[in-house]
Chain A
């Protein structure tokens, strides 16, 4: 919401400086976004008179002028066709910067004649589009005066952000009222703009126009008055200047009047050309599919939920949002109908959202204009039309009645302190509320003014009091400390996440945060997970950010590809976040290892890439950090179609609970992400890790190292093709549970088509050392257990 300082002064009698006004606006919740003085950039331009004009000796199209800008005659070369002796215009002194092109004026020779400055056009000064000639001012304009002072351009434009609850401040007058309440002066009595006349209904001749309401929900009140025989030329300068200053393009007196009242008083109006209205006006619901060409040049298709203003034939405008092209005023308009209506805020909001139309009228009606101001609004509009365009008024029609609420709130002034945290004396509170238009009874029943639709209860009154008194004066009060030592607040899931995150970073992985949404193409390789994405955005910001990720890998694979393209040798990224499945959002950790695992070096030789066992190592280490019982994990296949079918697996607790998938990413998947080479990856399903059971205490079991040293024995087996190493190791380990504490595969080779595995077995004697017989018996059990897997002890 923009307004100028002089405009504010129409409503506020104040001696406060611009800075005081700006600071106060922000302090009371009308946040100032900018202050701009359009006159500042024209300070070096003066009103000047052309004394003489002669032909330039060297150029047909140029003239040599003698110009008086207050300091006596000066020679100026000018190319404007309208330059002539006696003309009063705007002169740029040497040193002035021309706003339109940034050129700094200086004394220069033009075709051999010295020129001491420039006579300017409106376009050069960014005051208009005219560039056919230089500006012509009235002949009585004061020679030598600074042009912005003369033209009234030194009127700072203040732009404030109006929050959705402050509908009353969508007009300059509401802002003035707030400033007056904040002690910055006195709110002047309301007058018809440009006059000193108090608004009152204009008694016209004859019957009022034919207006009726068929949709009393969407349009509870529709007042109208006609004026015949108007002349719709341009609005007066004081009005157009202010409208221009706030970025509104002057159009014609009638249109400018409606705009002006809208910004001045927060009261939107509409003016119809009666010549284009064959019958009466009706506020009705639109019919489904009804179309309207609006003033913005767009055609809208309406439905039955929307309110329109129509004549007998068709809709003329979308009520309270935007008028129609066909019934607007033009230069030739002579008879008009002025509309001042009250539209239901909720209906306006719904219609505006559906049609995606924003307009100054919608902004005001959907926040809720003052329902008690319909009569005065029409009176002001009619008075302005008569003042500025002439004509004869007709009678007034008042269809329906605006719903003026009479909200009374039982208030307790103590609430300013018990809710707002600031003691404000009750009499001061009363003064604040009254200055804002509230009424306060002796027993603190507070009447809410009709323009404050947002005030519903006690907290709203507290806010009004605190905001005007100064929310910054609220003293800080320590939050009562919960007695005793601060107890841990993190949940087990949060602790797990923190541990895993720091474990991953400690293992040399870099944590990334990638978008929660990916493109359909990126989600596609994960079709086996939620069909490649269970949730799709209806209104994505781009096709790249459209599907909620079903896995953390697509985002990380894209990031890895970007890193490699930027010249990274090796990429080790991880992310902890959610994957979005049809039924829930699940905590997940993803790891992507791409490029070089180890650079070529004097010790290690050639560069080394990542393999599936790097992924497996990360999976197990991070699961351990997450507190999963890694010693009980079993390895299965079936990781999914986006993995290398022979170099991937899942880590499970029992056959059903999958804690992680790991391995080499399927080459078709990496190719889809524009990645070259082998990429290893891990996905940890943090949500599947079982919670730690029991034991809230810190006590560890007693330390009891075995008395005797362990014994190690090696066994080498030839194994059948396809036997999983893990199966053999488990079988060996389980051969004699009483003595075998560990079994570890330490060698693996194939010769002549025969596969061999060597396993180191650790035996722990209990109370006495093993005898040769005992060792032999254990060895026999190991061999027998291995034999069940088809393994044969090598001779």
Chain B
């Protein structure tokens, strides 16, 4: 039986020696093929006596299994080597630059408007809109600014060429006309809480004034609303917007034709690295105008001023953006310079949320 052992040793050596899949296959054919040595041995089993078969059978089978397993192992090793070689040939310079997808951005004004909507939604304020080409009635008269009112002359109003038979329209000088429109839409019977962000226009142009700018109006009409509610609302809004608890407000008596009493609101700032940062009280910066809605305005909106009262405020959105994010030239807001837009803009995914913080 030394033949079997010898054959086994010989085949294993040849399998080991095979250096390619073809060579290995030649060994397989020589051992396990139709004419193969192991196949020939298996064939002899048929001619053996039962005793002999019982003795030789397992040994020949073991030989076959051993050779088969050795071939499989060798084949796997050769496959792997071939794959390794193939992958090695595919090596690239991984320092080569990958193609960059263009990166888009959201304008700071849009981002801040979204932030405002989020903050005020939590306080129950909806977002209202109105036309920018406005009638003089909505922009002035309904807001208690009759034609001869001195404040009307102070508005640096843009007038549009009049259409036939119509009074010349104006570009709205503030978002306050939306107060009237919101009251009219609510029909004089329901409480109102709205903010109205949008474009406004004054014929004024320097580093801090542009002929077009953005404002947000706030309006609450209800029963029993006082200046105290106004103060809390503005404090809450500014704390939420700047995400700081040390926001200090200072109210100053002022005058707006459409509110009575009226107040200008200063917010305290501190100076950090030579820049003004909102919070603290090193100095005061005027941020918004506000007051209790004038009876005449409530009436113009179709509400009974003996029953309803409320407050209104107006605030520059561009200015809010500058104070929060640090831009210092208003004119750059409207230039469309891609470098500026990328620098001060926001990712599409920076959606302001209350849970994640409204700032980005």
Chain A residues engaging chain B, CB cutoff 8 angstroms: 26-29, 31, 163-166, 345-346, 349-350, 352-353, 366-367, 417-422, 457, 459-460, 462-463, 466-467, 471-472, 474-479, 481-482, 486, 488-491, 494, 498, 501-517, 535-541, 545, 548, 555-556, 558-560, 562-563, 566, 568, 570-573, 575-578, 580, 584-585, 598, 601-604
Interface status of B207 (Cβ within 8 A of chain A): no
Known: A417-B226, A502-B106. A31 touches B252 (CB 8 A): yes
B104 and A507: CB pair below 8 A?
yes
Interface status of B274 (Cβ within 8 A of chain A): no
In whole angstroms, how far apart are the Cα atoms of A165 and B258 in the complex?
Answer: 12
B253 and A486: CB pair below 8 A?
no
B211 and A545: CB pair below 8 A?
yes
- Provide a sorted-by-A list of 20 A–B residue pairs whose CB atoms are within 8 angstroms: A27-B252, A31-B264, A349-B147, A421-B227, A459-B294, A466-B227, A471-B227, A471-B253, A494-B127, A498-B114, A504-B104, A515-B212, A535-B169, A541-B158, A562-B335, A563-B337, A573-B336, A578-B132, A585-B131, A602-B96
A505 and B347: CB pair below 8 A?
yes
B114 and A488: CB pair below 8 A?
no
In whole angstroms, how far apart are the Cα atoms of A557 and B277 in the complex?
Answer: 36
| Binary contact track B196-218/A, C-beta < 8 Å → 1, others 0 | 00010101110000011000000
- Since A459-B261, A513-B107 are in contact, a sample of 19 more A-B pairs with Cβ atoms closer than 8 Å, ordered by chain A residue number, is A29-B254, A418-B226, A421-B230, A460-B260, A466-B253, A471-B263, A475-B231, A476-B231, A502-B351, A505-B348, A508-B104, A516-B201, A537-B159, A540-B158, A563-B336, A566-B339, A577-B199, A580-B132, A604-B99
Residues on A with beta carbons closer than 8 Å to the beta carbon of B67: none
Within residues 153 to 197 of chain B, which ones have a CB less than 8 A from any CB in chain A? 153-154, 158-162, 168-169, 171, 193
Within residues 236 to 281 of chain B, which ones have a CB less than 8 A from any CB in chain A? 236, 250-255, 257, 260-264
In whole angstroms, how far apart are the Cα atoms of A509 and B103 in the complex?
Answer: 7
Interface status of B58 (Cβ within 8 A of chain A): no
Residues on A with beta carbons closer than 8 Å to the beta carbon of B169: 535
Residues on B with beta carbons closer than 8 Å to the beta carbon of A349: 147-150, 153
Q: B198's closest neighbor in chain A, by CB?
A: A578
In whole angstroms, how far apart are the Cα atoms of A366 and B149 in the complex?
Answer: 8
Known: A164-B150, A421-B226, A474-B227. A459 touches B160 (CB 8 A): no
B168 and A510: CB pair below 8 A?
no
A506 and B104: CB pair below 8 A?
yes
Interface status of B316 (Cβ within 8 A of chain A): no
Q: A601's closest neighbor in chain B, by CB?
A: B99
In whole angstroms, how far apart are the Cα atoms of A165 and B125 in the complex?
Answer: 31
Residues on B with beta carbons closer than 8 Å to the beta carbon of A350: 147-148
In the complex, number of A-B residue pairs with CB atoms less than 8 Å apart: 264
Interface status of B288 (Cβ within 8 A of chain A): no
Interface status of B136 (Cβ within 8 A of chain A): no
In whole angstroms, how far apart are the Cα atoms of A738 and B101 in the complex?
Answer: 40
In whole angstroms, how far apart are the Cα atoms of A476 and B127 in the complex?
Answer: 24
A513 and B334: CB pair below 8 A?
yes
Q: A471's closest neighbor in chain B, by CB?
A: B251
B227 and A510: CB pair below 8 A?
no
Rounded to whole Å, the gap between the CB of A218 and the closest CB of chain B is 12
* Interface residues of B, count at CB 8 A: 92
Q: Which of A417, A421, A505, A584 contacts B229 (CB 8 A)?
A: A421
Known: A510-B105, A511-B341. A31 touches B254 (CB 8 A): yes
Residues on A with beta carbons closer than 8 Å to the beta carbon of B309: 419
A511 and B105: CB pair below 8 A?
yes
B228 and A476: CB pair below 8 A?
yes
| Binary contact track B320-360/A, C-beta < 8 Å → 1, others 0 | 00000000000001111111011001111101000000000
Residues on B with beta carbons closer than 8 Å to the beta carbon of A459: 260-261, 292, 294-295
Rounded to whole Å, the gap between the CB of A573 and the closest CB of chain B is 6
Interface status of B151 (Cβ within 8 A of chain A): yes
Contact stretch, chosen from B11-19, B23-31, B115-123: B115-123
Rounded to whole Å, the gap between the CB of A737 and the closest CB of chain B is 38
Known: A29-B252, A539-B159. A419 touches B292 (CB 8 A): yes
Residues on B with beta carbons closer than 8 Å to the beta carbon of A501: 106, 110
B203 and A539: CB pair below 8 A?
yes
Residues on B with beta carbons closer than 8 Å to the beta carbon of A513: 107, 109-110, 333-334, 336
Known: A163-B254, A510-B104, A559-B336. A535 touches B133 (CB 8 A): yes
In whole angstroms, how far apart are the Cα atoms of A29 and B346 in the complex?
Answer: 39
In whole angstroms, how far apart are the Cα atoms of A541 and B201 in the complex?
Answer: 11
Residues on B with beta carbons closer than 8 Å to the beta carbon of A503: 348
Interface status of B47 (Cβ within 8 A of chain A): no
Rounded to whole Å, the gap between the CB of B136 and the closest CB of chain A is 13
Interface status of B220 (Cβ within 8 A of chain A): yes
B336 and A478: CB pair below 8 A?
no
B99 and A598: CB pair below 8 A?
yes
B132 and A562: CB pair below 8 A?
no
Residues on B with beta carbons closer than 8 Å to the beta carbon of A535: 133, 160-161, 169
In whole angstroms, how far apart are the Cα atoms of A9 and B229 in the complex?
Answer: 39
Known: A462-B261, A539-B203. A585 touches B132 (CB 8 A): yes
Q: A351's closest neighbor in chain B, by CB?
A: B148
A463 and B333: CB pair below 8 A?
no
B160 and A537: CB pair below 8 A?
yes
In whole angstroms, how far apart are the Cα atoms of A604 and B100 in the complex?
Answer: 12
**In the A-B complex, the 8 residue pairs with the closest CB atoms:** A559-B336, A29-B253, A421-B228, A508-B102, A163-B255, A463-B261, A477-B228, A421-B226
Known: A508-B103, A572-B102. A474 touches B117 (CB 8 A): no
A514 and B348: CB pair below 8 A?
no
Interface status of B233 (Cβ within 8 A of chain A): yes
A164 and B151: CB pair below 8 A?
yes
Interface status of B46 (Cβ within 8 A of chain A): no
Residues on A with beta carbons closer than 8 Å to the beta carbon of B254: 29, 31, 163
Known: A538-B168, A559-B336. A164 touches B149 (CB 8 A): yes
Residues on B with beta carbons closer than 8 Å to the beta carbon of A467: 253, 261
Residues on A with beta carbons closer than 8 Å to the beta carbon of B109: 513
Rounded to whole Å, the gap between the CB of A493 and the closest CB of chain B is 8
Residues on B with beta carbons closer than 8 Å to the beta carbon of A510: 104-105, 338, 341-342, 345
Residues on B with beta carbons closer than 8 Å to the beta carbon of A511: 104-107, 110, 341, 345
B338 and A573: CB pair below 8 A?
yes
A419 and B102: CB pair below 8 A?
no
In whole angstroms, how far apart are the Cα atoms of A488 and B120 in the complex?
Answer: 11
Residues on B with beta carbons closer than 8 Å to the beta carbon of A462: 260-261
Residues on B with beta carbons closer than 8 Å to the beta carbon of A478: 229, 232, 236
Q: A512's closest neighbor in chain B, by CB?
A: B336
A568 and B338: CB pair below 8 A?
yes
A562 and B261: CB pair below 8 A?
no
Residues on A with beta carbons closer than 8 Å to the beta carbon of B159: 537-539
In whole angstroms, how far apart are the Cα atoms of A353 and B149 in the complex?
Answer: 10
Interface status of B126 (Cβ within 8 A of chain A): yes
Q: Which of A28, A471, A512, A577 contacts B341 (CB 8 A)?
A: A512
A506 and B348: CB pair below 8 A?
yes
Residues on A with beta carbons closer than 8 Å to the beta carbon of B151: 164
B253 and A457: CB pair below 8 A?
no
Q: Which of B117, B133, B294 contacts A489 (CB 8 A)?
A: B117
In whole angstroms, how far apart are the Cα atoms of A418 and B124 in the complex?
Answer: 22
In whole angstroms, how far apart are the Cα atoms of A540 and B160 in the complex?
Answer: 9
Most buried by B among A28, A494, A505: A505
In whole angstroms, how far apart are the Cα atoms of A537 and B168 in the complex?
Answer: 10
B105 and A489: CB pair below 8 A?
no
Rounded to whole Å, the gap between the CB of A366 and the closest CB of chain B is 6
Interface status of B299 (Cβ within 8 A of chain A): no
Q: A511's closest neighbor in chain B, by CB?
A: B107
In whole angstroms, how far apart are the Cα atoms of A29 and B255 in the complex?
Answer: 8
Residues on B with beta carbons closer than 8 Å to the beta carbon of A584: 131
Most buried by A among B154, B212, B260: B260
In whole angstroms, how far apart are the Cα atoms of A163 and B204 in the complex?
Answer: 20
In whole angstroms, how far apart are the Cα atoms of A283 and B237 in the complex?
Answer: 55
Residues on B with beta carbons closer than 8 Å to the beta carbon of A486: 121-122, 124
Residues on B with beta carbons closer than 8 Å to the beta carbon of A585: 131-133
Rounded to whole Å, the gap between the CB of A347 and the closest CB of chain B is 8
Most buried by A among B235, B345, B348: B348
